[in-house]
Homo-oligomer: A and B are copies of this chain.
């Protein structure tokens, strides 16, 4: 029932209308943060505003399709029943796009955070070049927008998840895709020009962490999300907010030094986490059966107890524990979510990771650390990408109200 804090205060002066905007944002944030539907009176108590003000603001929010009345809920107590308010299920929505190792994904979520559309297209990354890939994604985006329009949803923003370092829409480096300085934002914007959507591009691990943040609710405001796969990335949630870094290149956990004199890494350094815990390292050169994904193969071999696989998973877990310990020591975080391949292999990895962390993180001796698999599965990044529209709306609901 705590008020969601956050957001930088506007640097411009506050006028009379700013007051109105400020309070509208405040009320909207409370509606979004509420676990269940919330009444006008409860809003008044939570925000400290008076009932008349709340009434006026709620009227505006309903007119703008941001909030819906759920009808009077008779809770058995005496007196006029409260009229419940919830984020609208038929107002603005967000589109998330993801380029995965095994295919392309598109998904749409509404203001309640519910996934209303989810499409997946298997694809071989070796084949198409960047423009072809993004054109395919653009078609999926159009289909998604049409599909949810039938349910009364208006997609207002799209975010693309990419496995690599992204700088203001430009993919600086994505080894898995073989991309280098690809302006994915501009390409995708051109391919979806008919939709006229604002398009953001961000790192896959960052967006997956963002997705997990929404899934975990208010209670989990600080955690490290680690995404396993061909590449290893991390997303940091601190005080309920995603840490992107000043240029958006944060979370390169894959190139943490695990052993200064270890195996050489394509990046030029030695002993990077990547060389011990990427999916390549875990499969250790063994050929994956045709028609099987690398993930599935690793699980199958681990399940049947193949010694080489179990050994390489153990090495990976140890290396991951060392790298994660560094991050926890630095950031004062007490929860780690294992995502991507690490989530699938978590039953073989978690214990080892935890033992390394317990040994190497200074605060672990007086404050316990939790290591657990992520909850959203392979669609985490696409969902997290779609959800970014909520944050944008949370900070500037008036921009939507003006347009809509």
Contacts and interface: CB of A to CB of B under 8 A. Distances in A.
A333 B249 CA distance: 9
A251 B325 CA distance: 12
B22 A14 contact: yes
Among A7, A165, A173, A256: residue with most chain B CB under 10 A: A256
Contacts of A367: 247
A256 to B, nearest CB: 5
Contacts of A359: 268-269
A360 B222 contact: no
Instruction: Categorize the interface residue count of chain A.
Output: 35 or more
A165 B330 contact: no
A135 interface: no
When all copies of this chain in the complex are counted, the total is: 2
A330 B236 contact: yes
Most buried by B among A14, A49, A244, A268: A14
A259 B256 contact: no
A247 B239 CA distance: 11
A327 interface: yes
Interface in A1-26: 2-9, 11-14, 16, 18-19, 22-23, 25-26
Contacts of A255: 329, 360-362
A247 B362 contact: no
Contacts of A49: 13
Contacts of A165: 362-363
